[in-house]
Chain A
Amino acid sequence: MRLEIKDLHVHYGKIEAIKGISIVVNEGEIVTLIGANGAGKTTMLKTISGLRPATSGQIIFNGEDITGVPAHKRVDLGLSQAPEGRGIFPGMTVLENLEMGKFHRHDRKKEMAEDLDKVYTLFPRLKERISQAGGTLSGGEQQMLAIGRALMARPKVLLLDEPSMGLAPQMIANIFRIITEINKTGVTILLVEQNAQQALQRAHRAYILETGNVVKEAKASDLLNDPAVREAYLGTGAH
């Protein structure tokens, strides 16, 4: 179950946001894309899940070119995303939000209970909030809900867009711990992050993006110890 992006170009109007990026995510890996605001991280994920059209290039998933497949069909193939800004349905309850995650697999009633259980085991807090409206949850709880909802689809590859955004340090640590846990159950993860420190500690491999280009690719542990990377992305006084 390999995800491969080949020479991807994406435009917003006349502005080129992704200028020929190629990346590979192998089965079982956590791969992270790090970079500053505007580097094209979110655009990458949106294009992989089909929310943005690619101008050129290829998205190959499990050996199949899915570049032209519409967004709502990609989830069937095993790609699931917890989007930027969490994308919770504010007027639906926590349970309804989770059920929406299985919308495309509606005929499988038995799966529902099983998978809800798995999500509640990962995020006990969600079980406490089961009948609360999604819009009334705290930022951290919404992030849990977004990840839980994405897991309901039984993804082979999980795309996570800035799961640490706007969260308190303790919650960030908690979310990242769970990301590793999810990965250990066999889900491949592509993680986009500004919090490079946490992302590099958790990921196997990393790509550094700058204004629509990949400027560096390496094992995450190597990047953590690379002085230039520490200077640029981890802050000089990083832990």
Chain B
Amino acid sequence: MFTVFIDQFWQLTISGIALGFIYVLIALGYTMVYGVLRMINFANSEIFMWGTFGAIVASRDLFGYNQTSEPAHGAKLALVLFIQLFASMAFAGLTAVTVEFVAYRRLRAKGTNRLATLISAIGMSMVLSEVMRLLTASRPVGSPRILEKVILVEVWGAQIRLDTLITIMAAGAIFIILERFVKLSRMGKAIRAVSMNEDAAKLMGINLNRVITTTFLVGGLATGAAGFFYITVYEYTKFNIGFTMGLAAFTAAVIGGIGNIRGAFFGGVSLGLAEVYASAILGTQWKSVTIFIVLVLVLLFKPSGLFGEAVTQTRA
């Protein structure tokens, strides 16, 4: 039972980190919106799913790749990947901002309670996935292979593949950029101020609606980037993939203390590792079970999250 785990420990660790980084970026979508609105944006899982389609639309419709095409190389490869990343982020970012505008803003203006917004979020989630179901006739959509999955090096018996390396490095970089943005930029400071005290933030001259739009945009961009990495690694998507990925990322956000950006990082990486290790030890059929057990345990014993502080304390 443990032999696979021990033999392939480093290999598993690398896959776990890559998967974890994808969770981190989606978790940012949940955690940033929660920080500002104290609301779980359940549509974020579908925003991720739309992001995965952005990458496919870019490679297939913009560059004309199909399942029989040869993978790209050199400058062409970099260009296609970059445009794919951009398309994923744009798809998801626009979807996130639209969802906020259509489904939440009016409710907020009317001063409705959070339950109404939550139900609206679940409704938006269904709309987004059903629209994609219609557009794709319920079928899975394969992504043309852009990136040859060459093995770069072997360390301690673990093979490091190009797609894994790109995912870890690029996702890590995107996380750092976003974290710095929230910590240091003028808009980031406004986001933090609103998340700590909405009324006081308004008294400082902060335009609340602009902060909320930016938060959805930034959270959507991060979630969309995750969609691109998902496509690069798994080369496949479907209208309903948001559900499991979204719940896992939500779990990651809760582990780290929802509303806390660095917490999302720790939560995502630890969940990615836990999931991969558990699959190796118990079998892959236990993958989703692991995620839910972790979620329930965290909610039972440490609802503020392992790395989280009280909601009123430091974040970002």
Question: Do A and B truly interact?
Answer: yes
Does B190 reach chain A (CB closer than 8 Å)?
A: yes
A89–B203 touching, CB < 8 Å: no
Does A73 reach chain B (CB closer than 8 Å)?
A: yes
Does B189 reach chain A (CB closer than 8 Å)?
A: yes
What residues of chain A lie closer than 8 Å to B205, measured between beta carbons? 72-73, 75-76, 103-104, 153
Shortest Cβ distance from residue B184 to the other chain A in the assembled complex, whole angstroms:
11
Question: Which residues between 76 and 92 of chain A lie within 8 Å of chain B, taking CB atoms?
Answer: 76, 80-81, 83, 87-92
What residues of chain A lie closer than 8 Å to B110, measured between beta carbons? none
The answer for the CA separation of A196 and B199 in the assembled complex, in Å, is 26
Residue of A nearest to B205 (CB): A104
Does A101 reach chain B (CB closer than 8 Å)?
A: yes
Question: Which residues between 181 and 235 of chain B lie within 8 Å of chain A, taking CB atoms?
Answer: 186, 189-190, 192-193, 196-197, 199-208
Does A100 reach chain B (CB closer than 8 Å)?
A: yes
What residues of chain B lie closer than 8 Å to A87, measured between beta carbons? 197, 199-200, 203
Residue of B nearest to A105 (CB): B205
The answer for the CA separation of A99 and B186 in the assembled complex, in Å, is 11
Consensus secondary structure, chain B interface: helix
Shortest Cβ distance from residue A14 to the other chain B in the assembled complex, whole angstroms:
13
Does A106 reach chain B (CB closer than 8 Å)?
A: yes
Q: A91-B192, A91-B314 are in contact. Are A72 and B200 (CB under 8 A)?
A: no
Does A133 reach chain B (CB closer than 8 Å)?
A: yes
Q: A51-B199, A133-B314, A135-B312 are in contact. Are A104 and B192 (CB under 8 A)?
A: no
Contact pick for B207, options A72, A100, A149, A153, CB 8 Å: A72
Does A188 reach chain B (CB closer than 8 Å)?
A: no
Consensus secondary structure, chain A interface: mixed
B189–A83 touching, CB < 8 Å: no
Contact pick for B206, options A49, A72, A149, CB 8 Å: A72
Contact pick for A72, options B208, B314, B315, CB 8 Å: B208
B196–A72 touching, CB < 8 Å: no
What residues of chain B lie closer than 8 Å to A91, measured between beta carbons? 192, 196, 312-316
Residue of A nearest to B190 (CB): A103
Chain A residues with a Cβ closer than 8 Å to the other chain, count:
31
Does A96 reach chain B (CB closer than 8 Å)?
A: yes
- Number of residue pairs spanning A and B whose beta carbons lie under 8 angstroms apart: 76
A92–B200 touching, CB < 8 Å: no
Residue of B nearest to A75 (CB): B205
Q: A92-B196, A103-B190 are in contact. Are A75 and B313 (CB under 8 A)?
A: no
Shortest Cβ distance from residue B108 to the other chain A in the assembled complex, whole angstroms:
14
A100–B193 touching, CB < 8 Å: yes
What residues of chain A lie closer than 8 Å to B192, measured between beta carbons? 89, 91-92
B200–A89 touching, CB < 8 Å: yes
What residues of chain B lie closer than 8 Å to A50, measured between beta carbons? 202
What residues of chain A lie closer than 8 Å to B315, measured between beta carbons? 91
What residues of chain B lie closer than 8 Å to A83, measured between beta carbons? 199-200, 203
Q: A75-B203, A87-B199 are in contact. Are A96 and B314 (CB under 8 A)?
A: no
Contact pick for B203, options A71, A99, A135, CB 8 Å: A71
Question: Which residues between 21 and 55 of chain A lie within 8 Å of chain B, taking CB atoms?
Answer: 46, 49-51
Q: A72-B206, A106-B186 are in contact. Are A135 and B199 (CB under 8 A)?
A: no
What residues of chain B lie closer than 8 Å to A49, measured between beta carbons? 203
Shortest Cβ distance from residue B242 to the other chain A in the assembled complex, whole angstroms:
31
Q: Which of A72, A87, A96 has the most CB of B within 10 A?
A: A72
Shortest Cβ distance from residue B183 to the other chain A in the assembled complex, whole angstroms:
10
Question: Which residues between 180 and 235 of chain A lie within 8 Å of chain B, taking CB atoms?
Answer: none
Residue of B nearest to A103 (CB): B204
What residues of chain A lie closer than 8 Å to B186, measured between beta carbons? 103, 106
A sample of 15 more A-B contacts (CB under 8 A), given A71-B203, A81-B203, A103-B206, is A49-B203, A50-B202, A51-B199, A70-B207, A72-B202, A72-B204, A89-B192, A89-B200, A90-B196, A92-B196, A100-B193, A100-B201, A100-B204, A103-B205, A153-B205
Interface residues of A, Cβ cutoff 8 Å to B: 46, 49-51, 70-73, 75-76, 80-81, 83, 87-92, 96, 99-101, 103-104, 106, 133, 135, 149-150, 153
A-B contact list, 21 entries, CB within 8 Å: A51-B199, A72-B205, A73-B205, A75-B203, A76-B205, A81-B203, A83-B200, A83-B203, A87-B200, A89-B200, A90-B196, A91-B314, A91-B316, A100-B193, A101-B204, A103-B186, A103-B193, A104-B204, A104-B205, A133-B314, A153-B204
9 closest Cβ contacts across the A-B interface? A104-B205, A87-B200, A91-B314, A75-B205, A71-B202, A89-B196, A103-B204, A100-B204, A72-B207
